[in-house]
Amino acid sequence: MRTTSLLFFILFFSVTQAQDLTDFELVDNFKLEGLKVKVYFKDPLKEILKANPNFDDNDDKEKHELLSNYLHNNTLYVFQTFKKKKLQKTYELKGSPKKVRTKYYFNLHVLKENGETDKEIDKVGVGGSFFEHMFLFQTKEGKEFIGKGIKLWGYFVMIEPYDNLKNKITELIKKDIQNTIPDEILVKEEKVIEPLFDYQKCGLETILKRKFTITVFRYDSIGNVKDKYPRTEKDTELYLSSTSKDITGVATFPFFSSTDKIVTKGNKIHVESELENINHYLKDIEITTESDKVLKIEGQLIIHGFNTQGETTRYERYVAEFEKVGNCSFPKLIKFCPLDDSNYEKPRLTIEIEYELK
């Protein structure tokens, strides 16, 4: 009898706890569509401190990079639905390593009760770096910062409230229960983009990482530089960054497809791209070559913004100037300039790129 009871307990436990919740903490439970929902959270800061005992010795930028890398590769929250104590489905809010340099980088992985993947939702609308349930914000003083912007590790950051995240995930769980999740928000199988130009092929083969120095310029009334505001960023994912919908990724290494339409006139190549990310930021693209090597890429840069009426767009001149790096030529200096600055003499913003080769 005791053996039978023990076997029943093991089977019951394996069914109700198919998801490994090691180091997760139960932070919420509620009712939804006749189901009970339990919510678990794994604190990224605790996990980073375990892996990096000397974390406090890092400079502020390195701390943010360690946190960002963790969040892009791990599960933050787990929502589980139960019916009469039996696990129905698990919903993992997990960062996507493919969503580099984007604001909303979490996907929602929907798992069946046996742990097999049912679907993966791409458009979740959840991002951020610091979250309400992190141990830093569990004290009386820490709770006062939830939902506010504070300076932490040298940068101003938002402490993301749990309720905002919960509402978005709950709506998706409802749709999943009702079988009404639209196909357009699901993760699609992505085809690898075959490069159009030699610099793209060479970049994939030889570039290990990049460092950007991004400088914003202000000018006085007679056109002299009044102020410069530089900052640096790093990038170790050339392909993912260049094929994302991030303006820095697209602008610093335009990644055209071998199926794009081109028209060649002398040493000028006009490209009409079929890629969404290219068309989101660049138009009227003209590439100057010499001996089949790219010297520069020019075009109009599309700057997207928002106001009370919705999305807005404005245009700037764009140029990516190439230089030889190793055995290849890559973009080295990017300029965003006013439309009337035909010679790129007064850029609003420049990006200087340093490469580390494999």
Long-range contacts of residues 223-226, Cβ cutoff 8 Å, at least 24 apart = 223/346
Query: What pTM did the predictor assign?
Result: 0.69
Q: Tell me, what's the pLDDT at 99?
A: 84
State whether 171 and 233 are in the same domain. Answer: no
Q: Are 169 and 206 in the same domain? A: no
| Domain endpoint, select from 185, 211, 246 | 185
**How far is residue 275 from each of residues 30, 140, 255, 297, 333, measured CA to CA in Å?**
43, 49, 9, 17, 23
Please name which of 232, 248, 224 lies closest in space to residue 301, comparing C-alpha atoms. 248
Half-sphere exposure of 5 (CA within 13 A, CB side): 2
Cα(175)–Cα(153) distance, integer angstroms: 39
Regarding whether 210 and 149 lie in a shared domain, the answer is no
Which of the listed residues 133, 157, 185 is the one where a domain comes to its end? 185
- Are the C-beta atoms of residues 228 and 216 closer than 8 Å to each other? yes
Q: How many domains does the chain have?
A: 2
Tokens encoding 265: 């006139």
Any idea what DSSP says for residue 194? P
Q: Which residues contact 296 (CB under 8 A, 6 or more apart)?
A: 287, 288, 319, 320, 321, 322
Let me know whether 142 and 242 are in one domain. Answer: no
As a whole number of angstroms, the distance between CA 349 and CA 320 comes to 12
| pLDDT tens digits for range 301-334 | 999 887 777 778 999 999 999 999 999 999 999 9
Range of the domain at 39: 2-185
Q: What percent of the chain has pLDDT over 90?
A: 82
Kindly report which listed range (6-20, 142-156, 173-187, 231-245) carries the lowest average pLDDT score: 6-20
Close Cβ partners of 186 (under 8 Å, ≥ 6 residues apart)? 119, 120, 121, 122
Contacts of 37 (CB under 8 A, 6+ apart): 28, 29, 30, 31, 79, 80, 81, 82, 170, 173
Residue 14 scores a pLDDT above 50: no
Predicted pLDDT at 19: 60
